[in-house]
Structure 1
Amino acid sequence: MPPRAHHVGLTVSDLDRAVAFYRDVLGLAVVDRFSVDGEAFATGVGVDGASAEFAHLDADGVRVELVAYDPEGTAVESGTVNRPGTAHVGLSTPDLDAFYESLPAEVETQSAPQRTASGTKILFVRDPEGNLVEVLEV
């Protein structure tokens, strides 16, 4: 079964400011706010010591994910998911391990599937242009 659309993710430097813009200026409804950290999250996103705050907003059935990584002790390098301005497409699948095993050998992954402290199982891959694609199990 191919993955299904789940969200469009944008990395921001100031989550409160970004939420205010998307909520107050664009009229999107805030669906959820939460934080994620821990070794599985850092490994899953490919950023040592990563921790982040998230906001999910509803854009008429399309989930917009805003994420602000904690800048303390987290290096930001070109091409990493924690760099402000970075975008990713989020897809979902019911069996992430089976999806991972089915990937062609030439597909670049950040890591094997990881279950984060929030309970979400994630995997990041890169498309042929280097864009990030998150696949999560739901």
Structure 2
Amino acid sequence: MALSANHYGITVSDLDRAVEFYRDAVGLDEVDRFSVSGEAFATGVGVDGASGDFVHLDAGETRVELVEYGPTDENATAENVTQAGAKHLGLSVSDLDSFYDELPDHIDTVSEPQTTESGTRILFLRDPEGNMVEVLEA
């Protein structure tokens, strides 16, 4: 059986703030919003009493899923992209410089657009939760 990507999930502490970032700063369209709870969900994610508020955003061939879970874990933190097990979301654009120029001033970028040894143009930024987002022009 062949697998294909359905969505890329990002856990956030403030769903509305995250949606604003991915919609307004990054340019992804919201396509669905829903909540899930109950025993089957809690068992599925392995957290007693878990519930989740979800937003799906259109990322072309797949979706980005933002989810705010309850109850929350006060000890959870976003990893540095260079740490083993770290995660980041990768999004493609046709013109990285234009994307960078159009970013709102309050968006935290790691650097200006860079060209790697492979010829790929990259830009890393952080969402409001501190998660790394790579925007690239191949």
Render the CA deviation track for 1:38-82: whole Å, top value 9, x for unaligned: 000000011110001000001122200000012xxx25287xxxx
State the SS of the aligned residue for 1:64. Answer: strand
Q: Which amino acid aligns with 2:13?
A: S
Q: What residue number does 1:67 align with?
A: 67
Q: Which has the higher contact order (CA 8 A, sep 6+)?
A: 1
Counterpart mapping for 1:1-138 below 5 A: 1-70=1-70, 74=71, 76=73, 83=76, 85=78
State the SS of the aligned residue for 2:5. Answer: strand
Q: TM-score, normalised by structure 2?
A: 0.53
Does the CA-based 8 Å contact 1:11-1:84 persist in structure 2? no
Q: 1:51 to 1:85 in 2, by over 3 A?
A: farther
Backbone CA RMSD of aligned residues: 2.5
Does the CA-based 8 Å contact 1:9-1:88 persist in structure 2? no
Does the CA-based 8 Å contact 1:7-1:64 persist in structure 2? yes
Does the CA-based 8 Å contact 1:56-1:66 persist in structure 2? yes
Q: TM-score, normalised by structure 1?
A: 0.53
Q: 1:46 to 1:88 in 2, by over 3 A?
A: farther
User: Would you say how many aligned residue pairs link Structure 1 and Structure 2?
Assistant: 82
Identity %: 63
Q: What residue number does 2:104 align with?
A: none
